[in-house]
């Protein structure tokens, strides 16, 4: 077993827990559907976060060529998955009790933290590249990161509903373009 095969087990577990967290939220919505007030931006962010998880797992395949692992290098890769997991914990409610669940109220109760974590995970992603390669990400990849940071910063500081609706649409389109442009094939 090579180094990354060993290290990727923990990364895969955390990514799997995050995916489980989001799917658990969708399951709760389905099971409690008569008591849930839907809010499409929250559902869209949850769906986009699932796509981000899959893309992260897909992109991490490229780390199999990295053989000079230090604890610091592994820690920053691990930090990326941990922050993503924390985002999964905020995107949809954890508990669907007997009361009415308003996804709009839940979304705005957590939006500042959710988008602050989004900024953090993007900064960690850039830092991961610096730690592993000694250089910033390739120019196109860095440009996408900066665009994602800008949209998350806007969403973190505003409570304007039209802005949040636009942000999820813009980010989804941008992320799909990002995948098609930079990650359509395993590297």
For position 2, what pLDDT does the model report? 84
Beta-bridge partner residues of 37: 102
Residues 6-37 have pLDDT tens digits of 999 999 999 999 999 999 999 999 999 999 99
Q: Assign 3-state DSSP to the chain and report helix, strand, coil percentages, each to 5.
A: 80, 0, 15
Report the C-alpha gap between 95 and 89 in whole angstroms: 11
Q: How far is CA 122 from CA 33, 127, 181, in A?
A: 33, 9, 18
Tokens representing 34 are 């008569």
Spatial CA neighbour of 122 closest among 89, 162, 171, 164:
171
Residues 134-172 have pLDDT tens digits of 999 999 999 999 999 999 999 999 999 999 999 999 999
Determine the distance from the C-alpha atom of residue 161 to the mean position of all C-alpha atoms in its chain, rounded to a whole number. 21
How many Cα neighbours within 13 Å face the side chain of 57? 18
In which band, very low, low, confident or very high, does the pLDDT at 77 lie, cut at 50, 70 and 90?
very high
3-state DSSP assignment of residue 37: strand
* Residue 175 pLDDT greater than 90, yes or no: yes
37 neighbors 100 (Cβ within 8 angstroms): yes
3-state DSSP assignment of residue 136: coil
> Span 106-121, mean pLDDT?
98
Report the C-alpha gap between 2 and 9 in whole angstroms: 12
Q: Residue 145: how many CB atoms within 10 A of its CB?
A: 18
77 neighbors 129 (Cβ within 8 angstroms): no
Determine the distance from the C-alpha atom of residue 176 to the mean position of all C-alpha atoms in its chain, rounded to a whole number. 14
């Amino acid at each position: 077993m090579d180094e990354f095969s060993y290290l990727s087990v923990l990364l895969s577990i955390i990514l799997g827990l995050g995916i489980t967290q989001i799917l658990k939220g969708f399951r709760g919505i389905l099971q409690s559907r008569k008591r849930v007030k839907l809010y499409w931006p929250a559902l869209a962010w949850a769906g986009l976060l699932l796509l981000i998880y899959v893309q992260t797992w897909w992109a991490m395949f490229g780390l199999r060529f990295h053989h000079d692992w230090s604890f610091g290098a592994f820690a920053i890769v691990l930090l990326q998955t941990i922050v993503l997991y924390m985002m999964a914990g905020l995107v949809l409610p954890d508990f669907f009790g007997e009361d009415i669940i308003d996804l709009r109220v839940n979304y705005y109760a957590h939006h500042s933290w959710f988008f602050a974590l989004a900024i953090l995970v993007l900064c960690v992603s850039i830092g991961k590249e610096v730690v592993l390669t000694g250089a910033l990400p390739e120019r196109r990849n860095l440009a996408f990161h900066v665009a994602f940071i800008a949209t998350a910063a806007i969403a973190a500081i505003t409570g304007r509903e039209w802005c949040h609706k636009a942000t999820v649409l813009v980010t989804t389109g941008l992320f799909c373009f990002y995948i098609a442009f930079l990650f359509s094939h395993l590297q």
